[in-house]
Amino acid sequence: MGGHDAEAHPGAPASHHDAAHSAPGAQGRHDLDQALVPAQVFSMGDADGAGNAGDGETPVHEVRLDAFSIDATTVTNAAFARFVAETGHRTESELLGYSAVFHLALRADLDDVVGQPPQTPWWLGVRGADWAHPAGPRSSLDGLAEHPVVQVSWNDALAYCEWAGRRLPTEAEWECASRGGLAGRRYPWGDEWQEGQRCNIWQGRFPAVNTLDDGWLTTAPVREFTPNGYGLWQSVGNVWEWCADWWAEDYYARSPADNPTGPATGEQRSMRGGSYLCHDSYCNRYRNSARASNTADSAAGNVGFRTVALT
């Protein structure tokens, strides 16, 4: 989902909860392994000109962050299922009755397809697609317990955080964690792609032919490939990750230096990291500095999240 390529569903307005502050503790509910990110000053933004016009990856600017812990992986289907079992939470896709599914992943009857946006025809609006049926009503989570939960909106991610005593990362925290201590580098492992697959993105001719060189058409297990220097798995590729911040293209030019939390208001929420649909011909956002956004009530088959807490 590059930039704005998931269906943006009309629906409830974004929550005004201040997602940059930790919710009360909920010991034992959230048991994902943690990566510890030390307090530091780092250079945030696109240092090598690889960014996309309009994504607001510049100017590069120094940011000072307090130490924090971040989930080593995105939140899994198994973890989200525990949250749903305890709370009875119904996701926005369930309440709306449909969500966005990539066309090659569809597991539904054709009469369950209720929309196909002309600007992004590879996305289908599918009745009965939700977190437990990520590719449509004929799909399930069988074999996907350790894959990232998808079909969750920003509001759903926030509800999970409040249950878990966690919060969503700010964009600055997310980028710092993804860099893994490598200053100014394009990817979590450095500047070069090198041989072989380093993350779960599209191979072949987007959006019709995926050669599956990395073994995955859609999501991969959260511990596939190699973690970065802080111990984060798959911060780029696999699924987009919701961040706490409101989105603004021009925010970097006015961002405070200390623990920035994004604009005070906005219309969309920020996302980071790219997804299994990223390809250089279409979306090269599987980079540390890449940015995207969507409305807080939107969900799709390639969007998930991870959580943080101050140490």
Predicted pLDDT of residue 8? 35
What's residue 196's pLDDT?
73
pLDDT given for residue 219 in this prediction: 98
The per-residue pLDDT for 79 is 98
- All domains of the chain in start order, with CATH: 34-310 (3.90.1580.10)
Residue 183: its pLDDT value, please? 96
Secondary structure string (H, E, C) spanning the chain: CCCCCCCCCCCCCCCCCCCCCCCCCCCCCCCCCEEEECCEEEEECCCCCCCCCCCCCCCCEEEEECCEEEECCCCEHHHHHHHHHHHCCCCHHHHHCEEEEEHHHCCCCHHHEEECCCCCCCEEEEECCECCECCCCCCCCCCCCCCECCCCCHHHHHHHHHHHCCECCCHHHHHHHHHCCCCCCCECCECCCCCCCCCCCCCEECCCEECCCCCCCCCCCCCCCCCCCCCCCCCCCCCEEEEEEECCCCHHHCCCCECCCCCCCCCCEEEECCCCCCECCCECCCCCCCEEEECCCCCECCEECCCEEEC
Specify the pLDDT at position 70: 98
pLDDT at 26: 57
Residue numbers in the chain where pLDDT is lower than 70: 1-27, 195
Q: What pLDDT does 6 receive?
A: 39
pLDDT confidence of residue 281: 86
- What is the reported pLDDT for 73? 98
